[in-house]
Each structure stands twice: as C-alpha cells, then as structure tokens.
Amino acid sequence: MKHSLSTLLSGVTVRTQRGPADVAVQGLTLDSRQAGPGLAFFALRGAQHDGHQFIAKAVEQGASVVVCEDLPADLSAETTYVQVPSSAEAMALMAAEFYGHPSRQLKLVGVTGTNGKTTCATVLHKLFRELGYHVGLLSTVQNQIDEQVIPATHTTPDAINLNALLAQMVKAGCTHTFMEVSSHAVVQHRITGLHFAGGIFTNLTHDHLDYHGTFDEYLKAKKGFFDKLDKQAFALTNADDKRGMVMLQNTAARRETYSLRSLATFRARLIENAVHGLHLEVDGRDVQFRLIGVFNAYNILAVYGAAVLLGEDATEVLTVLSGLTSAPGRFEPIVAEKTRITGIVDYAHTPDALENVLSTIAQIRQPTQQVITVVGCGGNRDAAKRPIMANLAAQGSDRVVLTSDNPRFEDPNDILAQMQAGVKPQDLGKVFTVPDRREAIKMACALAQPGDIVLVAGKGHESYQEIRGVRSAFDDKKVLEEMFELLGK
C-alpha cells in the first residue's frame, strides 16, 4: 500500500512543511523503534516521554516523513518534516485516509462509560453474529473478526492499529463493528476521524482520575465522543445515570434513551433477578435472560436499543438475546463439584463495579451462604480507589482476602497498606491480607464451607499477572478450579 503524502494530508491542518514534497508513504508508526524507509513517524507527547525526543532516532532509521508539533533544530535533507498543531490528531486523520476510511464502509458503533463497555460490545457482537452478519469487535478482552480472534493490547487501539483492524474487517466482509471507546482514546485522538453509526453511554463513576486529574475532566473526555457524532448517527444514553443526559448535551446525533426507572425510548421492568439469570419485561415483552444482576439489565437494554436503532426487528433481537451469555470474566461462575461452592470471577476493578457485583450477590444468595471476597488493586493506577474498594469488600462480604492485582512497578505491600487503611475498625477481624494472589485464592477456598460463594474480583479474563514489567501466566478461573481440586472441594 502506497499513498502520496499530499493525499494523506488532505484533511490535516499543516503549519509548515520542509523537505522533499513528493513522497510516497508505505506505512505509519508512532514508535521510533519501528521507523524505517518509506514510513511516516509521528512524534507524540506521551505520559512518560515526548516523542519529539525520538525524531533523530526515527530519521537515523530512515523514516521518510516526520510529523511533529515542533520542528527539530537540525533537519535532514532526505526527510520531509510536517509541522502540525496536534501530532495525535494528524496521525488519526492520516491513518483513516491511509487505510481508505474503513469506518465509512461498515456500521461502526462505539460504547463508552466507566463500566459495561466490554459486556455491551461483546454481547452486541454475539447478537449480530446470531442474526447472520459478519461482525467485528474491538474490546478489552480481545478483538474479533467473526470468530477469528486477534489479541488486544488496549481497550481501544491507537489510531494506526485501529484503522488497520477496521480495514481488515471491511476486507473480511463485516457489515458491523462494535467497539469500546475508552476515555484515554478520546483524549488521545485514537478515534478522531472515524465515522460512527452510533454511540452508547453506559454510566460514569470513579475511575482513571490518575490520568484525567478530576472527575470533571473524565466526564469531558467521555462526552467528547458524543460531541463529535454527526447527525445521521444515534446517541443512546442511560437515562437512569446521573450523567446520562449531560453526555448528549452538545451532540448533533439523534438522542435516544434507555431506562429501568423512567420514560425512555427503550424501557424495561425487573421481574426477577436470580442466580440463573434475569427476568425482565422489555417494551411490554416478557423475556428471560442468562445474564445475571441488575447492572446487566442495563447492558441488555443498551444492546437491545442499539440493535433496534440499527434497524433490527425488536422481537427477533429479544429472542436471540435471551440465549446469550456475557463476556469472559464478567460474573463468570465456576462451581465446585462436591461442595457446590460457587466461585465467581469478575473484572470489577473499580469501586462502582465491585459494589454492583457484591450487591448482585447479596440479592441472589441464600441466607445460609457466606460470601468470601478476594480482591486487590492494580499498581501504577488510580490510588484513590484502593481504600474505597477494600471498605466495600469488607462491608459486602463475610470474609475478605486482600491481595495483589497487577502490582506493575509498585510494591504490593504499599498497595495493600493503602487498601487496609480503608477498612472500618469493626470490620478488621474479617479481613486477611495475603500478597500472593494464588495463596489468597487458596485461603478463600479453604475458608469456604459447602454452598458458599467465593468472589475473585479485579482481573476477570486476564490470563497474566504483571509484576515489575514481567507478565507471568495467571488466570483467576484456572486457579480457582485448581484450588477446588487441590483442597478436595
């Protein structure tokens, strides 16, 4: 694939351009280490480094084009330098052009919000597959083209990988793609230049304040997605969320709502929330679903609403939806054979998600069943959530084993001390601290009596644990199964 630089720059604001004008570009990269002849290198200002520091390295490796915000003092005669107000924005626009604007050739729907993105996007993917379409998925767990899995590195890939993946989906005949839109992606222009058929908002609660600084900035990041939708698109929001309507304040898109509590385009009433699933009345139809918990009633409504807004038949959508299971590692039950202890693996890594999972368990448990929770908090991420999550775990469980999540570059004991600080004195007696996650799960399984519930929260589908930059194999689901076996449960 070759494109002339001038074509790639067609929609981009250019301040100055230096060097050879007539350049053919064969590829794009944001990493100097990947730069080479025929490639355009984008100097992005990141959280840790400033990509401008690596321009010389990219040029040394033979990069044909450098897109940057500040021109370096020494310019190489063989390289073309393009100075732009925002390298990240230019990169997204040029990536869309380079890959032939794949987002315009299928119906792309983005899901944003603190929790529920993976669930909604994954269930939408499953639903549209069952409805007979070729469908793409971009999610935290994995990317997919129909059933083909392409490992994911981010919730929302960078603009180059994102457009490349969309182009692959178009080539494979996909008519729809469902993707998660993280707040990082909005702020970093990963989705700039994409054409969306619709956007879905799930909810907004505490997360990522380490990155965005304040809750208001975090809200603005999410809202930025809806602000950019065009008037042919739909913007579907959760009317029961405090920030649901704010999201749509400045959107040009058609405003649609879903709710369990008030008037909305798509409405449901909860009939039963049981261990085997939800029983809802959706727009006057009585339907049984396999997804568990009230929060999933919202996810179901969002998926159903989006499918109808995409032109699908409501009855058919509900019929298929009723048979679908959730995304991997989202309230996933593992039952011990002999003792009927129920292990639940869930990706709850935010206070709100943990509270939801625990209140769901409280709603569906029998009075005789004890709840034992294993939970930790990730290192090099929002530290404010640590004491809050430990307190929630203690309040909502009979026993708690605090442990490590992905410590990354932090000392696990520091993270655990910050978590412990949130536990109320009267709850301290039921809280244990075991830094090794495998040992912590083992302890929880050992404490469990027949019929009890062991919740293992925070890592869901993750198949690794990251300690000091090294990822070792670790899967909560497998460790639970192993411990049930080992302890003769």
Ligand X SMILES: CC(=O)N[C@H]1[C@@H](OP(=O)(O)OP(=O)(O)OC[C@H]2O[C@@H](n3ccc(=O)[nH]c3=O)[C@H](O)[C@@H]2O)O[C@H](CO)[C@@H](O)[C@@H]1O[C@H](C)C(=O)N[C@@H](C)C(=O)N[C@H](CCC(=O)O)C(=O)O
Ligand Y SMILES: Nc1ncnc2c1ncn2[C@@H]1O[C@H](COP(=O)(O)OP(=O)(O)OP(=O)(O)O)[C@@H](O)[C@H]1O
Which residues are near ligand API by CB under 6 A?
A: 155, 349, 378, 381, 405-406, 458-459, 462
Tell me which of Mg ion, ligand API, ligand Y, none is bound by residue 342, counting a contact when its beta carbon lies within the kind-specific cut-off of 5 to 8 angstroms. none
Nearest approach in angstroms of CB 152 to ligand API is 11
Q: What angle do CA 465, 469, 472 make, to 5 degrees?
A: 30
Q: Which of 180, 283, 405, 410 binds ligand Y (CB under 6 A)?
A: 180
Q: Which residues are registered as beta bridge partners of 65?
A: 40, 80
Verify binding: residue 304, ligand Y, rule CB under 6 A: no
Nearest residue (beta carbon) to ligand X? 46
If you search the block for the tokens 């469980």, which residue do you land on?
397
Cα(278)–Cα(269) distance, integer angstroms: 11
| Residues in region 48-87 near ligand X by CB under 6 A | 48-49, 51, 54
User: Of the listed pieces 117-125, 296-304, 328-336, 360-368, which binds Mg ion according to CB under 5 A?
Assistant: 117-125
What's the start-to-end Cα distance of the chain, in Å?
A: 57
155 lines the binding site for ligand Y (CB under 6 A): yes
Pairing mode, strands 39-42 and 65-68: parallel
Report the distance separating Cα 173 and Cα 162, nearest Å.
17
Determine, following the binding rule CB under 5 A, whether residue 459 of this chain makes contact with Mg ion. no
Residue choice 92, 347, 454, 466 for contact with ligand Y (CB under 6 A): 347
Pairing status of strand 453-457 against strand 342-346: parallel
Cα 298 to the center of its chain, rounded Å? 17
Q: Which two tokens stand for residue 407?
A: 């410590």
User: Is the CB of 117 or the CB of 381 nearer to Mg ion?
Assistant: 117
Pick 31 or 89: Cβ nearer ligand X? 31
Q: Does 357 bind ligand Y (CB under 6 A)?
A: yes
Rule CB under 6 A: choose which of 125, 228, 330, 477 binds ligand Y: 330
Give the CB-side neighbour count of residue 271, counting CA atoms within 13 A.
12
Cβ atoms of 119 and 111 closer than 8 Å = no
Q: What's the distance, CA 457 to chain centroid?
A: 16
- Helices assigned H by DSSP within 15-149: 55-60, 87-98, 117-130
The dihedrals phi and psi of 373, each to the nearest 5 degrees, come to: -110, 130
Work out which of 3, 107, 117, 212 binds Mg ion, going by CB under 5 A.
Answer: 117
- Binder of ligand X out of 64, 156, 202, 373 (CB under 6 A): 156
Q: Which tokens in the block code for residue 445?
A: 């399984």
The answer to whether 190 is a known ligand-binding residue is yes
> Is 319 a known ligand-binding residue?
no
Q: Which stretch binds ligand X (CB under 6 A): 40-48, 68-76, 167-175, 420-428?
A: 40-48
Q: Which of 32, 112, 118, 192 binds Mg ion (CB under 5 A)?
A: 118
**Residue numbering of the annotated binding site:** 30, 32, 113-119, 155-156, 182, 188, 190, 381, 405-408, 458, 462
- Which chain residues interact with ligand X by CB under 6 A? 30-33, 44, 46-49, 51, 54, 154-156, 158, 182, 184-185, 211
